Structure 1
Amino acid sequence: MSWAVSNEELEALGQRIVADGAGAFGGYKVEFGELTLHAALPRIVDALTFLRDHQDLRFVQLVDLCGVDWPQRERRFDVVYHLLSHTKNRRVRVKLETDEDTPVPSVVDVHPCADWYEREAFDMYGIFFEGHPDLRRILTDYGFHGHPLRKDFPMSGYVEVRYDDELKRVVYEPIKMTEWRNWDFLSPWEGDERGYAPKILPGDEKAGGE
């Protein structure tokens, strides 16, 4: 049995939500069989409350909340909410834009499970959530510097961690790179003789010592 919703149905749903949302939504888009709603940042609590409580929508479950980094934009971050309606068997995505300094209203009072999701977005991207009951890091350590999922975060990080036997505690020190490599991203292996890969791969010349 197929539960797919046609693009025409999603278009109609998006139009209705924007029209009935009392200004909480700035627009919508239907792509790849999915409906994405664009929410006004100051109205995100109103937007998710409307989607949850409207009898014809009932998007009662927040499945996920995450950040996306677009460093070339003035407002570099998207905050993305994925919602599920059990009674209507539909999913919807809600997006808003923010920057490093503008906090996003917390939706913990609407969806309590947003607690840890918002902490993760804060930890990984540095997105602030105003009104969150306990906004602190959740995946990195308390002394961690920076936000690892920002696209300008160095792959080496900023500090390294080690246990100091004299101090009898963990210490943080600036990262020290003792060796730099010039990665050319070419394969050093010969082509797969079993036929699972082309007989000649980029970089195969290295196997011959060239």
Structure 2
Amino acid sequence: MATLHSAPRFTLIDGLKGTLSTALGDHLVDAHEEHGELLLHVKRDSIEDVLRILRDDHAYQQLMEIAGADYPSRAERFEIVYMLLSLTTNSRIMVKCRASEDTPVPTVTTLWPNAGWLEREVFDMYGVLFAGNTDLRRILTDYGFEGHPFRKDFPLTGYTELRYSEDEKRVVYEPVELAQDLRQFDFMSPWEGADYVLPGDEKADMPPVDDPKVTEKPSDTGAGAKTDKHAADKVSAGAPAEKDGGEAIDPPEPTEDRAARPKRKGKTTDTAKATETKKKKAPAKRKPAARKKDDT
């Protein structure tokens, strides 16, 4: 039996860009479609008002995720991404705003309680501050952790490492010491043109040889009719190994005396009978003794 749902399986975003752009008005910086989804870039100070409009007036009831991205070359290096879901229309949109290390983003915990955990994660990984969040603590890293791991300028190995010390019987923090330096991989395809000389390509830039060595006649290479005439000759003819290998040599004498065995009787076809074990006869069943009648 087919089940009918009020929400469609998917929603086309045709016309959605114009509708939401009109509703957001001056809060909107840019709106465009990418990979079949609508992306809205809004002003940082208006993020709470924008999300409230989308929740109350356009049925985007759920805040699914808050993510971050780091672009160190920008003046406002961080990009905060809010992912919304409409259960009514089965539509997803993304709302973005930018921030720097010193410009806090207004909290949206006033709209969705789960935003508190999501904002803590972005703060822990990127260092973005959220004004109005009363519990802005680290959530993924350890106590006393320094730095923010998802920043592009954070080293892959971190600054400290922890281990359990058998001497002190506790976990200790130490500076990172690598037995081998990190290998740098360049995944640029050589067909697209690398900025360096690939191994083996240094030979391509060498100047041509002024006086190359060539073979002008077959005698210079050792080939020719004279060589072909002796091609079938056996090179190893007359070698000591061939002289000794063709002679028959008698086997050596036995090193110990062994008594002669008596000749076996019978044929080889009787071997199976000689090796088979004899089957034992089953004992005869005893008849039960006749019971005597008691004299009464």
Distance in 2, matches of 1:14 and 1:2, equals 21
Query: Contact 1:14–1:28 at 8 Å: present in 2 too?
Result: no
Query: Contact 2:21–2:28 at 8 Å: present in 1 too?
Result: no
Q: For residue 70 of structure 1, what is the aligned residue in structure 2?
A: 71
Q: CA deviation at 1:59?
A: 0.9
Distance in 2, matches of 1:105 and 1:80, equals 13
Q: For residue 29 of structure 1, what is the aligned residue in structure 2?
A: 32
Distance in 2, matches of 1:73 and 1:45, equals 23
Query: Contact 1:14–1:35 at 8 Å: present in 2 too?
Result: no
Query: Contact 1:14–1:29 at 8 Å: present in 2 too?
Result: no
What does 1:38-49 align with in structure 2 at a 5 Å threshold?
Answer: 38-49=41-52
RMSD across aligned C-alpha pairs, in angstroms?
2.1
Q: Partner amino acid for 1:3?
A: F
What does 1:46-195 align with in structure 2 at a 5 Å threshold?
Answer: 46-54=49-57, 57-180=58-181, 182-184=183-185
Distance in 1, matches of 2:59 and 2:83, equals 13
Q: Deviation per CA, 1:22-46, whole angstroms, max 9, x where unpaired?
A: x332231122221111121111111
Q: For residue 14 of structure 1, what is the aligned residue in structure 2?
A: 20
Query: Contact 1:18–1:26 at 8 Å: present in 2 too?
Result: no
- Structure ID, larger Rg: 2
Work out which structure has the larger RCO, using CA pairs closer than 8 Å and 6 or more positions apart in sequence. 1
Q: CA deviation at 1:115?
A: 0.9
Distance in 2, matches of 1:171 and 1:130, equals 34
TM-score by length of 1: 0.78
Q: Partner amino acid for 2:51?
A: L
Q: Deviation per CA, 1:55-96, whole angstroms, max 9, x where unpaired?
A: xx1111000001011111110000000001111221111000
Q: Partner amino acid for 1:135?
A: L
Q: Partner amino acid for 1:5?
A: L
Q: Partner amino acid for 2:143?
A: Y
Q: Partner amino acid for 2:37?
A: E
Residue 3 (1) aligns with residue 20 (2): no
Query: Contact 2:24–2:50 at 8 Å: present in 1 too?
Result: no
TM-score by length of 2: 0.57
Aligned length, in residue pairs = 181
Aligned in 2, Cα 1:161/1:11: closer, same or farther, shift over 3 Å? same
